[in-house]
């Protein structure tokens, strides 16, 4: 092997040393530059070790599904290696389906209106604008003036509340939604088969009696079924309920053509929301006045207020009437004998109570997001929205299907039971539907006092037309909701 002169070996060592030194300097420079720019290898496991827990107030708590702060996570940029991301790429090309949220669907906001930081990082990154601790001032306050820390925990990209992901990350939303869905399904699992068999029973009964001769009265005797105060209250409730249904569905479906059509009479989505809030407050005011009336009646000891036959409070006899009526549907027993109120009329009365309590409280939570999040964490609006939505759909479906069936669709009431509008009911009809009440009025000597004259023909036509229009509107609203349901965002 050839031997190199000493000077050559010396120069070779110098060159090799210089090359190693240069390589080290380049590596160090690259590392320093990366650290200075805020980026490190996003695959470095040490970046994602949990940081020390930080104590925060009730309002400043990190929202559901938003993990804890990660140590040094601000040095990692998930989009650093995405070619042309900051200049040409679209968020939804990778984050498919993330536009299924109310901010995207009901406003003109796009992804980068909220995710405005550089680097565009996940919500667990303290440097991201959408990080929960400062999201309220860097993002929310751009639209919601005076937004406070509580708004930061509102979950924008929420998963379906019944999903396993929600159960793990947002149990409050999961279990509250499961509870209200169980209530809704329970009501319809009972009433849908019940009313179907009821309709079949009445159709069969009318078919069997089709050849029987009926006695035609020259002029039917009319009894005052409802007082003027009760009739006016019911009419106001109808107007409030239908307006709340129209405006609520318009806002729920505003991203669809159906929702836009419903919002037209209210000057668009914003007008529909304000009408919804106005009549929601009006309905809560009526509910409060009714509670005051009940308390006053209880204090002055109004006869039979709680336990009498005119009371709407449930008794054991009502539960027995349910059993007997179910047996009658299958031809096994006689039809139950009702006093002034049947069990389903009492059910409808108390359903309004629980419905107003649920939609009223959740509606107030969502009434003003800034005010709400000044006293409650924002994630409670996620919970309130789903409870409000499911209970409202339950109320509409029950009224438009079950209640309208009893008072309009079934053969014995078709095409409309208008007693609640003009107050007059035929005595012969009441003897069949509420025989115990008529018998009691006769025994008390009060039957003659309740006999009234026939309302003017124009009044009857007006009330009949109003009632039928409400029935038709309710059915069309339900049909539209079903047809456009698949176009909805969560």
User: Residues 187-215: pLDDT tens digits?
Assistant: 999 999 999 999 998 888 777 776 665 55
Task: Please tell me whether residues 128 and 268 are part of one structural domain.
Answer: no
Does residue 38 lie in a domain region? no
Does residue 278 lie in a domain region? yes
Of the listed ranges 64-73, 236-245, 327-336, the least confidently predicted one is 64-73
Would you say residue 246 has pLDDT above 80?
yes
Does residue 326 lie in a domain region? yes
Does residue 6 lie in a domain region? no
Confidence of residue 62 (pLDDT cuts 50, 70, 90): low
Mean pLDDT computed over 41-61: 45
Kindly report the backbone phi and psi dihedral angles of residue 199, in degrees, each rounded to the nearest multiple of 5, phi listed first: -60, -45
Show which of 134, 157, 180 is a domain's final residue: 157
Q: What is the pLDDT of residue 212?
A: 62
Q: Cα–Cα distance between 405 and 414 in angstroms, integer?
A: 9
Q: What is the pLDDT of residue 43?
A: 39
Proportion of the chain above pLDDT 90, given as a percent: 38
Task: Please tell me whether residues 230 and 131 are part of one structural domain.
Answer: no
Task: Please tell me whether residues 252 and 395 are part of one structural domain.
Answer: yes
Task: Please tell me whether residues 237 and 118 are part of one structural domain.
Answer: no
Mean pLDDT computed over 117-123: 68
Task: Please tell me whether residues 329 and 432 are part of one structural domain.
Answer: yes
Domain extent, residue 58, equals 49-157
Task: Please tell me whether residues 174 and 226 are part of one structural domain.
Answer: yes
Of the listed ranges 142-151, 336-345, 411-420, 474-483, the least confidently predicted one is 411-420
Task: Please tell me whether residues 231 and 148 are part of one structural domain.
Answer: no
Give me the CATH number covering residue 278: 1.20.950.20
- Per-residue pLDDT reduced to its tens digit, 425-482: 888 889 988 999 999 999 988 888 888 888 888 988 898 899 999 999 999 999 999 9
Would you say residue 279 has pLDDT above 90?
yes
Task: Please tell me whether residues 346 and 414 are part of one structural domain.
Answer: yes
Would you say residue 74 has pLDDT above 60?
no
Would you say residue 152 has pLDDT above 80?
yes
Would you say residue 94 has pLDDT above 80?
no
Does residue 35 lie in a domain region? no
Query: Hey, what are 168's tokens?
Result: 């793990």
Domain count, the chain: 2
pLDDT higher at 13 or 54? 13
Please, what is the Cα angle at 131 between 125 and 133, to 5 degrees? 120
Task: Please tell me whether residues 126 and 173 are part of one structural domain.
Answer: no
Q: What is the pLDDT of residue 87?
A: 52
Task: Please tell me whether residues 126 and 182 are part of one structural domain.
Answer: no
Does residue 301 lie in a domain region? yes
Looking only at the bridges linking them, the beta strands covering 451-452 and 424-426 are unpaired
Does residue 31 lie in a domain region? no
Does residue 228 lie in a domain region? yes
- Per-residue pLDDT reduced to its tens digit, 212-227: 655 545 568 889 988 8
Q: What is the pLDDT of residue 234?
A: 92
The end-to-end CA distance of the chain, in Å, is 80
Would you say residue 402 has pLDDT above 50?
yes
Task: Please tell me whether residues 242 and 376 are part of one structural domain.
Answer: yes
Q: Cα–Cα distance between 225 and 437 in angstroms, integer?
A: 10
State the average pLDDT for the chain: 81
Q: What is the pLDDT of residue 55?
A: 43
Would you say residue 365 has pLDDT above 90?
yes
Q: What is the pLDDT of residue 42?
A: 40
Task: Please tell me whether residues 461 and 412 are part of one structural domain.
Answer: yes
Of the listed ranges 291-295, 297-301, 404-408, the least confidently predicted one is 297-301
Q: Cα–Cα distance between 309 and 443 in angstroms, integer?
A: 14
């Amino acid at each position: 092997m050839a031997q190199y002169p000493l000077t050559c070996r010396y120069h070779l060592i110098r060159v090799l040393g210089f090359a190693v030194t240069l390589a080290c300097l380049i590596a160090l420079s690259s590392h320093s530059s990366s650290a200075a720019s805020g980026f490190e290898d996003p695959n470095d496991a040490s970046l994602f070790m949990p940081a020390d827990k930080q104590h925060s107030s009730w309002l400043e708590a990190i929202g559901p599904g938003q993990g804890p702060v990660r140590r040094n996570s601000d040095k990692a940029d998930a989009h650093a290696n995405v070619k042309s991301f900051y200049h040409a790429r679209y968020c939804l090309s990778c984050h498919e389906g993330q536009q299924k949220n109310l901010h995207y669907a009901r406003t003109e906001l796009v992804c980068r209106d909220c995710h405005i930081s550089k680097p565009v990082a996940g919500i667990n990154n303290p440097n991201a604008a959408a990080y929960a601790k400062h999201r309220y001032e860097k993002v929310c306050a751009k639209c919601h003036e005076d937004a406070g820390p509580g708004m930061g925990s509102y979950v924008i990209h929420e998963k379906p509340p019944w999903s396993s992901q929600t159960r793990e990350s947002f149990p409050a939303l999961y279990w509250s939604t499961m509870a209200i869905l169980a209530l809704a399904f329970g009501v319809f699992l009972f009433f849908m088969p019940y009313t179907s068999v009821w309709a079949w029973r009445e159709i069969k009964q009318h078919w069997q009696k089709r050849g029987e001769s009926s006695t035609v009265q020259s002029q039917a005797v009319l009894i005052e079924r409802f007082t003027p105060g009760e009739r006016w209250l019911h009419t106001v409730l109808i107007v409030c309920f239908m307006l709340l249904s129209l405006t609520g569905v318009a806002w729920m479906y505003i991203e669809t053509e159906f929702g836009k059509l419903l919002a037209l009479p209210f000057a668009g989505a914003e007008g529909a929301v304000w009408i919804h809030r106005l009549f929601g407050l009006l309905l809560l005011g009526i509910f409060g006045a009714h509670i005051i009336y009940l308390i006053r009646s209880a204090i002055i000891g109004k006869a039979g207020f709680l336990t009498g036959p005119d009371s709407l409070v449930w008794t054991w006899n009502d539960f027995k009437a349910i059993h007997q009526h179910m047996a009658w549907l299958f031809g096994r027993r006689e039809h139950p004998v009702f006093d002034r109120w049947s069990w389903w009329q009492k059910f409808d009365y108390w359903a309004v109570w629980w419905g107003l309590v649920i939609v009223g409280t959740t509606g107030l939570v969502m009434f003003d997001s800034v005010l709400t999040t000044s006293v409650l964490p924002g994630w409670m609006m996620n919970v309130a929205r789903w409870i409000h939505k499911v209970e409202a759909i339950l109320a509409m479906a029950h009224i438009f299907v079950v209640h309208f069936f009893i008072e309009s669709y079934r053969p014995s009431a078709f095409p409309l039971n208008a007693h609640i509008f003009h107050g007059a009911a035929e005595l012969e009809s009441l003897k069949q539907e509420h025989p115990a009440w008529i018998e009691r009025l006769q025994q008390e000597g009060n039957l003659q006092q309740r006999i009234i004259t026939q309302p003017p023909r124009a009044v009857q036509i007006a009330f009949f037309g109003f009632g039928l229009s409400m029935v038709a509107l309710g059915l069309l609203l339900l049909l539209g909701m079903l047809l456009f349901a698949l176009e909805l965002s969560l």
